[in-house]
Structure 1
Amino acid sequence: MKKLAFTAFASIVFISCSIQKHALQHEPTEMTVMTFNIRLDHAGDKENNWKFRKERVVKSIQFYEADIAGMQEVLHNQLLDLQEKLKEYSYLGVGRADGKEKGEYSPLFYKTEKYAVISSGTFWLSETPDSAGRKGWDAAIERIATWAKFKEKSTGKSFFVLNTHFDHIGSVARLQSGTLIMQKVNELAGKMPVVVMGDFNASPDTPVVKNITNSSNPLHLSDSRAVSPLIYGPEWSFHDFGRTPLEERELIDYIFVKNRVKVLKYGVLAEQDGAGFLSDHCPVLVKVQF
């Protein structure tokens, strides 16, 4: 009799938990996403060197409570610094020069308590995306994209995130990289909610961004700034540690969305404290719902 009662109780608990999880899956999920080119560790930067900026970079990510942060220009020693300081996060990504630790990373940092990784990977922005360290088209250097399928632990909802950094010299490479990104997102994410972010080295009026956001293309992505009901901050994201004149500054860092991802707010965080700038780029922060 006791065994039957226990079995019945366990069945009720299981059914109750299943109903609760099913209900949560149909409730909107909110997530804060940041893209941040942190500027590589370069000795010539003098007062803007990484050793003077790293604490403030870490605090900015923590203060704005980014659930997922995609970063660019991260050298291996910088990655180790971020790992040490951002204890509530794990990361995904490899060095772009060899697919291991050499060259810049474009890593994805994510809150370990909130998200589990379903699968992840890397591809190169080139004609042979699976070949490590390959330059693409007319690019000056090798470029990379880091992607992951995540599951939100509390709801079981899955979604797709990609972080990248386009070439600063090759105009053909930037255009082709955008097309490759859209194709890869379609291939890897399917109908999952999608967030694509990074430093695209292209302003909104260029063929690069117009290609990505062209609504006549079924693979297109939406610019979060263009669809956000609330916009904060300047219309530029790169300032070269404040050296670029205001009228010459450009927006080149983006967060794009797709597949039922609603943008709640968007901000370019053009911050400077008494110690100087966080980086030569501003972080871009978006709150989304899906």
Structure 2
Amino acid sequence: MEPLRVMSFNLKFASAAEPNSWASRRPVMAQLLMNELPTLLGTQEGLYGQLGDIAHDLPDHYDWIGLGRLGGSHDEFMAIFFDTLRLEPLEFDHEWLSDTPKVVGSRSWGNNVVRMVTWIRFADRLTGKQFVAVNTHFDHESANARLRSAEVVRDRLQAQTLPVVVTGDFNDVPGSPPYAALTGLLADTWLTGPQQTPAYGTFHGYGPLVPDGPRIDWILTRGAAVESAAINTYRRDGQYPSDHLAVQASITF
């Protein structure tokens, strides 16, 4: 069975400021995505125009679902891109990581930045099986907000009977309280699958890569077999596509 190629990638929001402007990064991003052609791509930080650029740069049979975290096209998205030849979206939703998850732009737990999650229920056209994809970005400042966010995602998934894949920038490391909350229910693909690459800190800030550094971007699954896991260090002429590294996993349900 052809595995699903899953990628999680904090895109670093588009900026015109040099160095590392979006204009400089976009062709490198496009090449990385064309090299890998993920079946499912959970993105963080993308702005509406930037996501449009990525949609343009991917093959025509890709589509995406997302919403700005301040509503409509405003602010950053937790957009999920997918290969429509393989995946059919059956339903989707957006929720805010707060005490009022249906209130657009809400925040509750000490985070200054609005945080959210996007959910899609997919049918795999190849197998007929369904699964749920979850994509999120936890807060970078508030440990309490990260833990409460993890608990909300966990509790929502406990009631879910379908297999699950979760992509995200969690702004925390394995062993942290949010990680413990989520991995009580979900498996970390980096640890459960054969690792195809060395380990690096997944946020590099355009500086030197850190071997075995903090791994804050994860792909988590339930009900899946992990065939491989990787941390993608692609760059071109010294230019990285983002200030994060993409993380990848090949999985089957």
- In the superposition, the TM-score normalised over structure 2's length comes to 0.94
Q: Which has the larger radius of gyration?
A: 1
Match of 1:38 in 2: 11
Higher helix share: 1
Count matched residues.
Answer: 252
Match of 2:33 in 1: 61
Which residue identity does 1:250 align to in structure 2? P
Match of 1:11 in 2: none
Distance change (3 Å), C-alpha of 1:156 and 1:236: same
How far apart in 2 are the matches of 1:263 and 1:76?
32
Match of 1:198 in 2: 168
Other structure's SS at 2:154 match: helix
Q: Deviations over 1:105-152 (max 9, x none)?
A: 010000011111111111011111111101130112101111101111
Is the CA contact 1:41–1:49 (under 8 Å) kept in the aligned structure 2? yes
Distance change (3 Å), C-alpha of 1:206 and 1:97: same
Which residue identity does 1:97 align to in structure 2? L
How far apart in 2 are the matches of 1:131 and 1:148?
19
Match of 2:192 in 1: 227
Q: How does 1:23-172 map to 2 (within 5 A)?
A: 28=1, 30-44=3-17, 46-86=18-58, 87-98=60-71, 100-172=72-144
How far apart in 2 are the matches of 1:88 and 1:64?
15
- In the superposition, the TM-score normalised over structure 1's length comes to 0.83
Q: Measure how far apart 1:235 and its partner are.
A: 3.5
Gaps of 5+ in 2: none
Q: Percent of pairs identical after alignment? A: 29
Is the CA contact 2:199–2:213 (under 8 Å) kept in the aligned structure 1? no
Match of 1:251 in 2: 215
Is the CA contact 2:79–2:118 (under 8 Å) kept in the aligned structure 1? yes
Distance change (3 Å), C-alpha of 1:84 and 1:73: same
Which residue identity does 1:261 align to in structure 2? A
Gaps of 5+ in 1: 1-27, 215-219
How far apart in 1 are the matches of 2:189 and 2:211?
23
Q: How does 1:258-277 map to 2 (within 5 A)?
A: 258=222, 260-277=223-240
Which residue identity does 1:276 align to in structure 2? Q
Is the CA contact 2:115–2:139 (under 8 Å) kept in the aligned structure 1? yes
Given the alignment, which residue of 185, 194, 202 partners 1:237? 202
Other structure's SS at 1:133 match: coil
Given the alignment, which residue of 192, 208, 213 partners 2:183? 213
Please provide the CA RMSD for this pair. Answer: 1.6
Q: Measure how far apart 1:195 and its partner are.
A: 0.2
